[in-house]
Every structure is written in C-alpha cells, then in structure tokens.
Structure 1
Amino acid sequence: MDTKHWVRLEFGLATLVVVIFMSGSAMGDTGSSSISANFNGTPIPFPDVIWFSAVLHPANLSATLPVQVFITGQTISFTVSGTPYTVDVPNACITFDPFLDADMSGSASTVYDGQWETTVPSFGLAGNTFLAGVALQTLPGGFPGGIKNVTWQGTFFADFPGVSLHWQWAAAVYRMFSDDYNSLGVKPVDDNMASIYQNADHAGTPENFKHYVTGGARGGGGSNYTGSLSASVSVTPFPLPVPCGFPE
C-alpha cells in the first residue's frame, strides 16, 4: 500500500507540508483535477508572500435554482532544490444564484469562514469567478526563480446534474500580506459591475493589499495582481451529497 510521511511546518500564512516520501498513481476520476504550471525566473525572497488563487467558469447552470459547487482536498505541490513541498488549500463553496442581478453592485461576494464562500449571479457575468486562494510566506532563504511543475489539485462536486467547469490558477508575490483572509478584500469576479470592486482587476485580486504586489511566481508586479493564469482545464464535478460540505 502506498504511504505518505509528512512533516508539517506551521510557518507564515499557510500550512506547509514537507513530503519526505510519497508514492501513488495519477487521479482518474471525473471530478478530480490537477493543473501544473511554471513560475517565472524572478527569485522570491524571504519574507515575501506568494498569493495563489484559482478561478472557474461554469456551464449548464440551472435557470431556476441556485447551484452549489464545492471543492475539497485541494493542495499545491512543488519541488525546490530536490525537496518536495505541499501547501494545503482551504475548501471552497461557490453558490451560483439565478435570482441575483449581475448589473447590481454587491451581487457577487466572497468571504472566508474556515472555507472560501463565494456567491455570484448565475448569468450575466463577464469572465471568471474566484474559486479559492491560499497565502504562503517564503521560508528563510527564499525560493529561487523558475520553479517548475507547480501543481494545484482538488476534487470538485456540484449539486445540479450536467454542470461542467473550466478552471485555472495563478500566483503573485506580495511584500506585505495578511493571514486574516477576510481583510484581503478578495475580488470575487472578473466582472467590473457585480462586486463592490468595480474595476478591471481579475477575480482573486486582494484589493486591500494590491499596492504591495511585486514580481515573482507567475506575476511581474505592476498591475498584475494575481499573476498569469495557467492553462484552462475542464472538469465534470461529482454529485454533491449535502450543501457545501460533508457530514461530520
């Protein structure tokens, strides 16, 4: 039987798991998905923070019922100088509500309450919707530029049959950040009308800290607050057994 031995480092903003040994096979189930992408060549010094964010775009939503999408078991894994690392990503619940008006400010929102909880209109939005995010403070000594095969994976569920999703992730570096995710002011959608942040920033932008962005990970600083998106991958979610989560 495959085994995993982890050393958990409660360091900085995220739980960093140093993988001492791990073996196993690739995920083949429909609702499980992973995306790998590379960092750019800019080194990331200590104590800068990497803000990882993922977004999605749904299809085949209900025109008469709210639809919930739940993402769990999320991790981000990468290797630096031969040492594998894994970052745990909080669960996420996205509610697509057909009764919300995409032209109304505040109809799209994101809060953090032990998991990411995002509510958006089912229809009329331009662009992507925030999926989940996690902040990781670099270790002493920092990380080199050019880290390859950074992989975000998770398992997707939906409570309405026929829903399909396209998702992507990005990463940007910040000189200052917060471990209180509600203080970040995460923009829930790309759309420039539906949230209280009526601008052209991408979904996942930490609006209250964006002036601290700098180059590194998948971003170049400036106005690139989330970094460049990975390739888009489609996933057909598993059926969601209970609203946004599972029984204890």
Structure 2
Amino acid sequence: MFQRFRIACGTIAGLVLLGATPVFANHVDSANVTITCDSFSISLAASELSPGTKYEIAYQFEPSPSVGTPIVGSIPLTATASQVFDATIWGSFAPLVGSYTFTGTASLVGHNTIPIQFSPTSLTCGSQPPPPKTSGKGIDTESFDGSSIGDGNFVWFNANFSVTGIPKTGGVITFTSSKIVDEATGLPFMNAVPNAQITFSPTAACTTTTFSTMTNTWLTTVPMRGDDEIFLTGVPVPSAGLQGGTKVSWNGTFDTGGIPGITINWKWGAAVYTNFATYLNALQVKPGHTSACGQDGSDQAGTPEGVNNQNQLWKQFVIGGATGSGSSNATGLWGNINTVIPTTAVIPGSGPK
C-alpha cells in the first residue's frame, strides 16, 4: 500500500518560495516533494517563528487515482533565534503501477496551510525489480544492575551509533525488525520496537530527529561529518516490577540501501524514570552528542530533553536502575560496542543468465 514507508535515497528537493510571503508571523513558506514510482523526499521551510516557541509542521499527500491511505507526517520543532526552520525527509512505498498525478498540503499547525509542489507533476510507472539490499544483523546482550525496578516506573531503552564509509553524496541507513528480549524467558519487553531511518545529508547543518507514529519509525537527519553518537532508536517500556540483574538482548537488521563499505558501531543503554512520556515526540530526544540542532549541552545522544505539561524536564525524573546510575545519567550506561558491516544480499534469479 502507498502508506508503507521504506528508506530510499532520493534527490533532495529544492526549497522554493511559493508566492508572496504572508504578512503575518509564524508561517510555513514552502513544501516541495520530489517523487519517483516508489520513493519521495519532502523539503519544508518555515519562517518568522518566535524563538523558544514549540511548533508542528504537518503534511499529507496522495496520488490520483488513489491507491490507499495518504502519506501523512509531522515534524515538531522549537524555534531558534534565527526564526527560520527547514528540513528534508525521505521515505518510500510499494512501487506504483500506472499513471498518476499528486496533490497535498503542508501546514504550520494553528497558523497557515499551503499546497505542496511536486516534481515531476505527473508520473507513469511500470513494474520494477526490488531494490538492492545491503544488510547486516546487529545483536548485543547486556545485564541490568542489581536494583529492582518498581511497578509504575518506565525503562527508557535507547541506542546510538557511529559510522564510517558514508559516500560524499550522502546515504541512508535503516534499522528494522528490532527486538528487545529478556534472555531468561525469551519474551520481548516490547512487541513493536520503533524502526529507524537515518539520512546523511550534504545540506544538513546539524542533526534532527522526529518520530513518525504512522510508520513507527524514528526519522533522523545527520550532516555529512556525522557524530560520535547518533541516536538510533528508543522506546519507553512500562515496568510491572522487574527484578535486578535481568539479562537483556537487543537485536535488529541494519541496511544501507545497496551502498557497500559502510561500518556501523552501535551500543545501547537503559535508564529508569518515575515519570515519562508515551507520546514519543514529546520527549524531544537529543539526536546527536555534539551535532544536535539547538541542543548544545554535553548530554548524550538519546537524552530526553523535553518537558511535561507542568514544564518539568523529563530527565529530572531519572533514577538508578537498569543500566543507569540515575542523577545526570539520562540514557543509562552504554554497554559493549557492536560492529556491523552490511553486505550485499543475493536476490534469487538476479545472477548471470
């Protein structure tokens, strides 16, 4: 179906101003989608924002004739002193077959709405072969400390990575089919650990992340210089009273979209919180250790920098337990570094004839 995302390396759409800038403050200026028969990139820009104010840019679009639920998404943001914002997000879907045009809108929620501009304006698609897979399995097992975790608390499982081998033109890494398992029982802590989509963009000045509830995916954009810690994925798990010393295994599949020669070094931690958000975008997760947009502190990648509805920082509710020591350790202590070098998969029937 059209609404299923998968990662693709698309051409970055240019940010083109649509018509005259509105005379009122707080507005989305442009929304441009570059689209193919199975992928897209959407570039969004907003301006005249109030520094320190939280906003949300929402978008949706669909082909005509319709093939299913429209693609929808949103980007939460906090305005910086520059009063402007721009971002590009990539995604993909099951290949289209037939001829299509596209329509859609983007909104700065509560302020203004504009039409999305598409390139090309129409598209004719035939049957297409599956894209190449360059994948590798990552698995890492660590043990919680001896502290029991009380009923009603949350365990913030979070992972980060560093990478070498990204080409100068950029690239995309995905992390899917992820499971966090109690080694003693073989049971997962969470049935649907979020996927991850990390885009290394030549135009990105700093690192951002947002959570797509529609696709259960953390969408992160990173500048080409990378970082020593790039947020991979994270999920809060409510505790029903966990025993100390629990041995935990986290595994998943990395894919580089057909790009060979990439080395991924990843690790994870788990911190205990007495109060935590279940709406993941409310966490305002720090996406990079030193490269995060508007988050210049020394906090580790994966730190929840947001506040609750009483304007209290989430990270003030962290306590000792899992792999964490509490206090300022908002992510838990990292375990061993697990190295993954994705290799090209052989597609049946794709060899020499």
TM-score by length of 2: 0.54
- One-letter code aligned to 2:341: T
- Per-residue Cα deviation, 1:45-94 (whole angstroms, up to 9, x for no partner): 0100000000010101111x121001110000015xx6442023111100
| Structure 2 residues not aligned, in runs of 5+ | 1-133, 307-313, 346-353
**Which of 144, 153, 157 pairs up with 1:52?**
157
1:156–1:238 contact (8 Å) kept in structure 2? no
Q: Who is 1:172 aligned against?
A: 271
- Displacement of 1:161 in angstroms is 2.0
- Per-residue Cα deviation, 1:77-136 (whole angstroms, up to 9, x for no partner): 015xx64420231111000113323xxxxx21110002110001121x442100000110
**Which of 135, 146, 151 pairs up with 2:249?**
151
Note if 1:200 corresponds to 2:298.
Answer: yes
- The alignment partner of 1:45 has SS state of coil
- Displacement of 1:198 in angstroms is 1.2
**CA separation of 1:184 and 1:39: change in aligned 2, threshold 3 A:** same
Note if 1:120 corresponds to 2:194.
Answer: no
Q: Percent identity?
A: 36
Relative contact order, higher structure (CA 8 A, sep 6+): 1
Q: Who is 1:6 aligned against?
A: none
Q: How far, CA to CA, are the matches of 1:121 and 1:179 in structure 2?
A: 28
Report the structure number with the largest CA radius of gyration: 2
**Which of 169, 178, 181 pairs up with 2:280?**
181
Q: How far, CA to CA, are the matches of 1:83 and 1:194 in structure 2?
A: 38
2:286–2:292 contact (8 Å) kept in structure 1? no
**Which of 134, 138, 153 pairs up with 2:239?**
138
- The alignment partner of 2:147 has SS state of coil
TM-score by length of 1: 0.76
Q: How far, CA to CA, are the matches of 2:260 and 2:145 in structure 1?
A: 39
- The alignment partner of 2:182 has SS state of strand
Q: Who is 1:217 aligned against?
A: 322
- The alignment partner of 1:136 has SS state of strand
Q: Who is 2:141 aligned against?
A: 36
Q: How far, CA to CA, are the matches of 1:96 and 1:46 in structure 2?
A: 40
1:157–1:239 contact (8 Å) kept in structure 2? no
Q: Who is 1:4 aligned against?
A: none
- One-letter code aligned to 2:304: P
- The alignment partner of 2:316 has SS state of helix
Q: Who is 1:17 aligned against?
A: none
Q: How far, CA to CA, are the matches of 1:128 and 1:198 in structure 2?
A: 14
- One-letter code aligned to 2:316: H
- Please give the residue correspondences for 1:26-105 in structure 2 after superposition, counting only pairs within 5 Å: 31-63=136-168, 65-79=169-183, 83-86=185-188, 87=190, 88-101=192-205
- Displacement of 1:162 in angstroms is 1.3
**CA separation of 1:56 and 1:120: change in aligned 2, threshold 3 A:** same
1:51–1:134 contact (8 Å) kept in structure 2? yes
Q: How far, CA to CA, are the matches of 2:204 and 2:218 in structure 1?
A: 19
**CA separation of 1:59 and 1:177: change in aligned 2, threshold 3 A:** same
1:100–1:122 contact (8 Å) kept in structure 2? yes
Which structure 1 residue ranges, 4+ long, deviate > 6 Å from structure 2?
none
- The alignment partner of 2:281 has SS state of helix
- Displacement of 1:30 in angstroms is 6.4
Judge which range, 51-60 or 29-38, deviates more: 29-38
Q: How far, CA to CA, are the matches of 1:204 and 1:239 in structure 2?
A: 30
- One-letter code aligned to 1:57: S
